[in-house]
C-alpha cells in the first residue's frame, strides 16, 4: 500500500507539552473518536494500487496527536468506493480494526451504511437541514419544506446511521484494552449518544459541536420530535462542548424550551435530564502553529508563493473559504465593488485574491452558490476592465482560485494587506487564526461578528456585520489605509493570542474536564487536576 500525505506535515508538537493529568488520563484510556469522516480516505489508482489521503482538518490533527499517548480507535463512515471495498474485505475476514500507517497507533473501524441510508443521513438531513438550520441559512417563507421524504430520510437515514455508529462504538468499547472514552464530533451524530446509552449506560461520552448553536426560537423550524430527539441525544453525553459561551447558552435555552422535564442550571452550565447530568462547556478550537507553519514553509507552499507573486498589487486583499453560503463570499465581492466605486483612486492598484474550495457539490444550493460567485466576479472584472482601459492599464480586480489546495491557501496568507472573513455565521473560523499567525505584512483582519473567532480576536480586528455591504466596503478602505504603527500593533496582538490559545489548549481543556469527571466518579483512580 502506498501512502500519500495531503500536505507535507511535520509531526505536531502537541505531544511533548501535555500536562501530567492529561498524559496520565491518556495513558490509562482508549480514546474512541467518532466522526462522520475518518482521518484518512482510501483511493485506488488505475493500476490497482491503494493510496491513503490524510485529511488536514483541526480535529484530525488534534486527535492524531492525542492518539500517540493513548490507545486510540477512530469510528467513521466508509466514504470512498475503496473505503467500502476495504470494509467489505475486513467483514469477510472478520476483522474489525484497520491500522493506518500514516497515523501510528491509530486504528479505524468503519461504519458502512447502505448508500440510500447514507444519502438520507448526509445529503438530506445533516447538510441541507441541520447545517442550514445551525447557520440560519434559510429563506423561511420558502424553506425548509419538511415533507414525507424528509421524514423518511430522518427515520431511515439519520436515525438509522446514528444507530449504526452507536453499535460500532459499543463494539469498539467492548474490545478496548483500557478504559474507553468516547469523543463524538459534530452535528452528524446528535442521536448516537442516545443509542450508545441504551447499550452501555456506563461509558464516558464527550461530544464537541463544531458549528454554531442557533437561538431556540429558530430551532422551531424543525418539528418538535426532531428537536427533542436532538436535545435528548446531546444530553445522553456526560460533557457537551461548544465553540463559544453564546452557543453553549443557546443550547441550554433550547433544552429548556423543548424538554420541560429537564432541569437546567445556567450558572453551573449543567442539565439534569432523567437522572443523568450533562456538563455544557466551552472549548474554542484553534490551530497547531507548528503544523500550520510547517505546511506554509513546505516546498509546495514556496512554489505557490512564487507563482502567486504575479497576482499581487500595491494592495492585496485575500479571502480563503469553502465555497459555502454561510461564508458570505458574494457579499464580500459586492463590498469590494462598492470600495472601488467610492475610491476610484484604487483602480489598478488593488487586487482581491479569493481561494475557494468547492464543497458539497451534491447539494443543489452549493452548485448554485458557486455559480453566483462566478457571476458576480465576472461582472466586477468586466466593469473595471473598461474603467482601467480608459486609463490605459490592463487590470483584473478579482482573481478566483477554485480548488482543493491547502498549501496554496497558506502561502497566500503570508502576503495579504487585508484578510476578509465576513461569514454570516461560523462556529469558529480557522482561517482568521491561520492568517493572524502567518501574515508577514502586518495585514489587517476584517472579521464578522457572526464568526465564533470574533469572541477571541474581534478586539484586534475591524468588525463587520456580515450583511452590511456598505460597512464592509468602509472596513476594506480602513484596512488598506490604516497607519503602519496601528497595523503592527493589531497584528502582533492577534499573533500572540493565536499562539497562546492553540490547538493543544483546546485538547487539554477537554481532557481536563474529562479527568475531573473521572476523578469524581472513581476518586481512587485519578488525581483531579486543580
Ligand atoms: C468547520 C466550522 C470551525 C483552506 N483551503 C483549503 C483548505 N483550507 C483550510 C483552511 C482552514 C480549513 O480549511 C477551514 O476551516 P474553517 O474553520 O475556516 O471552516 P470550516 O471548514 O467550515 O470548518 C468552522 C471548524 O469546523 C473547526 O471546528 O472553525 O466554524 O464551520 O484550516 O485553511 N483545506 C484543504 N484544501 C484547501 O484548498 N484541504
pLDDT band at 48 (very low <50, low <70, confident <90, very high): confident
Other residues' Cβ atoms within 10 Å of the Cβ of residue 167: 15
Instruction: Please give the order of strands across the beta sheet that includes 98-99.
Output: 98-99, 106-111, 71-77, 29-34, 179-185, 204-208, 239-242, 276-282, 270-273, 263-265
Does residue 55 or residue 248 have the better pLDDT? 248
Other residues' Cβ atoms within 10 Å of the Cβ of residue 350: 22
The predicted-structure confidence for 215-274, as pLDDT tens digits, reads as follows: 999 999 999 999 999 999 999 999 999 999 999 999 999 999 999 999 999 999 999 999
Q: Which long-range contacts (CB under 8 A, 24 or more apart) does 311-314 make?
A: 311/351, 311/353, 311/399, 312/351, 312/415, 313/348, 313/349, 313/350, 313/351, 314/349, 314/350
Report how far ligand 1's centroid is from the alpha carbon of 262 (Å).
Answer: 35
The predicted-structure confidence for 190-221, as pLDDT tens digits, reads as follows: 999 999 999 999 999 999 999 999 999 999 99
Ligand 1 in reach of 55 Cβ (< 6 A): no
Ligand 1 in reach of 56 Cβ (< 6 A): yes
Ligand 1 in reach of 356 Cβ (< 6 A): no
Atom 19 of ligand 1, residue of closest alpha carbon? 429
Ligand 1 in reach of 402 Cβ (< 6 A): no
Q: Is the model's pLDDT at 519 over the cut of 90?
A: no
pLDDT band at 58 (very low <50, low <70, confident <90, very high): low
pLDDT band at 144 (very low <50, low <70, confident <90, very high): very high
Joined together, the cell numbers standing for residue 26 give: 491518556
Report how far ligand 1's centroid is from the alpha carbon of 428 (Å).
Answer: 9
Atom 39 of ligand 1, residue of closest alpha carbon? 406
Contact 230, 207 (CB under 8 A): no
CA distances from 251 to 245, 266, 279 (A): 10, 11, 12
> What is residue 520's predicted lDDT score, i.e. its pLDDT?
86
Lowest mean pLDDT among 95-99, 260-264, 318-322, 329-333: 95-99
> What is residue 32's predicted lDDT score, i.e. its pLDDT?
95
Buried b (16+ CB within 10 A) or exposed e, 230-255: bbbbbbbbbbbbbbbeebbbbbbbbb
Atom 33 of ligand 1, residue of closest alpha carbon? 431
Contact 181, 206 (CB under 8 A): yes
Report how far ligand 1's centroid is from the alpha carbon of 362 (Å).
Answer: 19
Residue 421 parent element (H or E): strand 418-421
Q: What sign results for the dihedral spanned by CA atoms 514, 517, 521, 524? A: positive
Ligand 1 in reach of 429 Cβ (< 6 A): yes
Atom 10 of ligand 1, residue of closest alpha carbon? 431
Report how far ligand 1's centroid is from the alpha carbon of 171 (Å).
Answer: 31
> What is residue 401's predicted lDDT score, i.e. its pLDDT?
98
Ligand 1 in reach of 320 Cβ (< 6 A): yes
Residue 477 parent element (H or E): helix 469-481
> What is residue 4's predicted lDDT score, i.e. its pLDDT?
37
Atom of ligand 1 nearest to the CA of 404: 38
Q: Which of 63, 329, 354, 406 most suits a substitution to test ligand 1, by most atoms within 8 Å of the C-beta?
A: 406
- Give the mean model confidence (pLDDT) for residues 448-468: 98
> What is residue 524's predicted lDDT score, i.e. its pLDDT?
53
- Give the mean model confidence (pLDDT) for residues 91-108: 83
Atom 34 of ligand 1, residue of closest alpha carbon? 406
CA distances from 328 to 172, 425, 453, 493 (A): 40, 9, 16, 26
Atom 35 of ligand 1, residue of closest alpha carbon? 406
> Could you write out the three-class secondary structure of 18-41?
CCHHHHHHHHHEEEEEECCCCCEE
Distance in angstroms (rounded) separating the CA atoms of residues 89 and 82:
11
Mean pLDDT score of the chain: 91
Ligand 1 in reach of 428 Cβ (< 6 A): yes
Q: Residue 174's beta-bridge partner residues?
A: none
Q: Is the model's pLDDT at 63 over the cut of 80?
A: no
The predicted-structure confidence for 17-28, as pLDDT tens digits, reads as follows: 678 888 888 888
Contact 265, 277 (CB under 8 A): no
Pairing of strands 270-273, 263-265: antiparallel
Q: By C-alpha distance, which of 238, 174, 179, 229 is closest to 206? A: 238
User: 264: which residues sit within 8 A by CB, 6+ positions away?
Assistant: 252, 255, 256, 270, 271
> What is residue 65's predicted lDDT score, i.e. its pLDDT?
66
pTM to 2 decimal places: 0.94
Distance in angstroms (rounded) separating the CA atoms of residues 242 and 509:
12
> What is residue 57's predicted lDDT score, i.e. its pLDDT?
62
Q: Is the model's pLDDT at 1 over the cut of 60?
A: no
Amino acid at each position: 500500500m502506498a501512502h500519500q500525505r495531503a500536505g507535507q506535515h511535520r509531526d505536531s508538537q502537541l505531544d511533548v507539552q501535555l500536562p501530567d493529568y492529561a498524559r496520565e488520563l491518556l495513558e490509562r484510556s482508549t480514546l474512541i473518536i467518532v466522526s462522520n469522516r475518518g482521518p484518512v480516505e482510501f483511493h485506488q489508482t488505475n493500476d490497482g494500487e491503494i493510496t491513503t489521503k490524510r485529511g488536514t482538518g483541526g480535529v484530525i490533527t488534534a486527535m492524531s496527536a492525542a492518539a500517540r499517548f493513548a490507545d486510540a480507535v477512530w469510528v467513521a463512515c466508509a466514504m470512498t468506493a475503496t473505503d467500502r471495498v476495504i470494509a467489505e474485505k475486513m467483514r469477510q475476514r472478520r476483522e474489525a480494526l484497520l491500522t493506518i500507517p500514516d497515523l501510528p497507533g491509530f486504528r479505524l473501524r468503519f461504519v458502512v451504511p447502505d448508500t440510500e441510508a447514507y444519502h438520507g443521513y448526509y445529503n438530506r438531513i445533516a447538510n441541507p437541514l441541520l447545517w442550514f438550520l445551525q447557520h440560519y441559512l434559510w429563506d423561511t417563507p420558502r424553506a425548509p419544506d419538511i415533507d414525507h421524504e424528509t421524514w423518511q430520510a430522518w427515520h431511515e437515514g439519520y436515525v438509522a446511521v446514528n444507530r449504526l455508529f452507536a453499535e460500532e462504538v459499543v463494539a469498539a468499547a467492548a474490545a478496548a484494552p483500557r478504559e474507553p472514552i468516547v469523543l463524538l464530533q459534530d452535528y452528524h451524530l446528535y442521536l448516537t449518544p442516545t443509542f450508545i446509552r441504551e447499550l452501555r449506560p456506563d461509558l464516558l461520552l464527550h461530544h464537541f459541536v463544531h458549528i454554531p448553536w442557533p437561538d431556540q426560537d429558530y430551532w422551531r423550524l424543525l418539528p418538535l420530535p426532531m428537536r427533542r430527539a436532538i436535545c435528548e441525544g446531546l444530553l445522553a453525553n456526560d460533557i457537551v462542548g461548544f465553540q463559544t459561551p453564546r452557543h453553549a447558552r443557546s443550547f441550554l435555552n433550547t433544552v429548556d424550551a423543548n424538554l420541560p422535564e429537564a432541569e437546567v442550571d445556567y450558572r453551573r452550565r449543567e442539565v439534569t435530564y432523567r437522572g443523568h447530568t450533562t456538563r455544557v462547556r466551552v472549548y474554542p478550537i484553534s490551530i497547531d502553529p507548528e503544523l500550520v507553519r510547517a505546511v506554509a514553509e513546505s516546498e509546495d507552499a514556496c512554489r505557490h508563493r512564487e507563482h502567486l507573486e504575479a497576482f499581487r498589487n500595491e494592495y492585496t486583499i485575500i479571502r480563503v473559504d469553502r465555497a459555502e453560503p454561510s461564508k458570505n463570499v458574494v457579499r464580500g465581492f459586492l463590498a469590494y465593488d462598492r470600495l472601488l466605486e467610492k475610491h476610484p483612486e484604487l483602480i489598478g492598484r488593488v487586487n482581491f485574491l479569493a481561494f475557494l474550495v468547492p464543497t458539497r457539490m451534491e447539494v443543489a444550493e452549493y452548485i448554485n452558490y458557486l455559480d453566483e460567485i462566478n457571476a458576480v466576479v465576472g461582472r466586477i472584472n468586466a466593469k473595471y476592465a473598461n474603467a482601467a482601459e480608459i486609463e490605459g492599464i490592463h487590470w483584473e480586480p478579482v482573481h478566483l482560485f477554485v480548488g482543493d489546495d491547502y498549501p496554496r491557501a497558506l502561502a497566500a496568507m503570508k502576503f495579504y494587506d487585508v484578510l476578509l472573513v465576513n461569514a454570516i455565521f461560523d462556529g469558529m473560523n480557522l482561517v482568521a487564526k491561520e492568517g493572524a499567525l502567518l501574515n508577514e505584512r502586518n495585514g489587517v483582519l476584517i472579521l464578522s461578528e457572526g464568526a465564533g473567532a470574533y469572541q477571541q480576536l474581534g478586539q484586534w480586528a475591524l468588525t463587520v456585520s456580515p450583511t452590511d455591504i456598505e460597512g464592509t466596503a468602509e472596513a476594506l478602505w480602513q484596512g488598506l489605509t490604516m497607519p503602519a504603527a496601528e497595523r503592527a500593533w493589531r497584528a502582533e496582538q492577534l499573533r500572540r493570542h493565536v499562539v497562546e490559545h492553540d490547538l493543544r489548549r483546546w485538547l487539554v481543556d477537554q481532557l481536563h474536564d474529562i479527568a475531573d469527571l473521572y476523578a469524581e466518579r472513581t476518586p481512587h483512580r485519578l488525581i483531579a487536576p486543580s
